[in-house]
Structure 1
Amino acid sequence: MAPLADAANGIPDHAETRLIDIAGHPVPVVKGGLYDRYRSNPPLAVIQAEAPGLDLGWFKGLEKTQVDMGFASYSPNFYYQNSRITAVYTADLERLRALMPTAVLARTQPLQVWPGRGLVALTAYTYDYCDNDSYNEIALSIITNKPGTSNFGPLTLAGQSLSKDFWGYVLKLPVNTELARVRGVVGYNLPKWLTPINRREEADAVSYDIVDAQTGKVDVVMRGRKLEGLSHEPELVTNSFTNLDHLGRLAYGYATSRQTAHAASLKTDSMVLVLGDGSLSRYIRELQLGRMVKYEYVPAFQSALYAPKPL
């Protein structure tokens, strides 16, 4: 029997763990958890038996295929029960361009919403139940045009909003389990690192405390309002990212989400972002964030994340 997991790894203290190998990395997972048993390919009948209240109808129309992502896995990866908060801010356009590799910039660029200003999205995810167990994740991404298409700034953003088909370049992606970190780094070449991310449920808000991995102190706090007037009309949204694979080749990946409870606000006080003195706070400050232009509160969604492909 493996020792009890460290809470800093996002695995409950009381859970038994075992080490598995992913591309040469020893990774602690919950013993008897979904990933331990099925390696990203659990039968939907098992999910239904373990979570009988979940509606799995959408997943029944999606087909998994075996893929080599630097390790054997299945695509898409299923996320059965999740929530998120997202804030979109303006940021310094030249700084955003400087953070993107030249090869990526040749095919896609940050959207310019007005002279000298681009957009970034800051999202806090909670994956309560998914193929790779459960974890929290924070995504900081530049909003871009679709590779190979014209970039008309606000018009392109409006088009993406209407089609619910968004593109971006991921800058930072901390997670709170080693399983999520290794899968993301090896399989998707994404900028993930392991650090505690604590979600707090309040009467009128959802808060995330992001700990600095070096100091062990809370560095970034995101506090998003629980918006009223939620829509329960299912809505499909696709989020795609462009990056370089491990061989330096252009690649892209995407996730399609089925949002079953969602609301948005343009009020700037819908999200409170508190920055500290750690590395992530310093990085965010260098982006020279301006006003928040949109906030999204999505307390219920499902998602399918597809393995990356050459662009």
Structure 2
Amino acid sequence: MTATLQAPPERHAVAETLTSGGRRFTIGKVLAALGITLLILIEVLPLLWLLMSSLKSPSEFSSQPMWALPEGLYWENYVDAWTRGNMDVYIRNSILATFPAIILLLAAGVMAGFALEVLKWRGRSGVLLMFVIGLMVPMQMILLPLFAMYFRSGLLNNPLALILTYTATGLPLTVFMMAGYYRSVPREIIESAVVDGASIYRVFFSITLPLLRNAIMTIAIVQFFFFWNDLLFALTFMTTNDSRTIQAGLLAFIGQFGQTEWGPTFASICISIVPTLLIYLILNQRVMKGLTDGAVKG
């Protein structure tokens, strides 16, 4: 007489799975998928509602519920936002302030990161610590001194005021991130180049820059989002309608037609989102790779 032993059922079904079409889905994966789906809905639904609202006629805002679909495509809202709302002027001012600041910031930050992490000189740790301390300075603390300086220098309502401010305030984060990226570059590559007779400039331009192009692109995108969406400095230093950037212009847009016209207002917000959305969609892979380049030392 033989006896067979059966394994007792597990009280906690940690390895419980669902099978469908030959694929195995653990409970954890299902919960993770539901969580990701919920996050996507939280992010996407407001954008869809914003787009639908920008296509409604003025009468629909008072006669229909907030979540109702538009009866037609009322593109006149975008025409009003672009012409009467001066969105073309605001976008031009944002471009004139943002892109020169990013160029100056990358030029200074990339070179400073190289000097602080690759080169060996006395006091470099203290200098890097000063940049890290700069990350802790609240922007509101420097607002009044900067306003006084720009007022006396005649730089108010001038894009140069925003370019200088964006470059200075973005430099600590850029230098700190670039120092981490340079730290991930294998020292054997740099030492081999030096042994072969490469100068400092050759090492910088021909070796480190190509290795860190994704990291530099990531920093540029991150700073672009900060500068493009800035309201504090733009609202303080740009006081005239012709000098406002897009975020300050959106704030002034509400109510400038007498009673607020929500259709053109929502259309102007959609227009302001387009540049950031396009840049992210085009450079998404580079940004993701750049974020992980400095995570592991090579």
User: TM-score, with normalisation over the residues of structure 2?
Assistant: 0.22
- Higher RCO structure (Cα 8 Å, ≥6 apart): 2
Structure 1 or 2: more helix by fraction: 2
TM-score under structure 1 length normalisation:
0.22
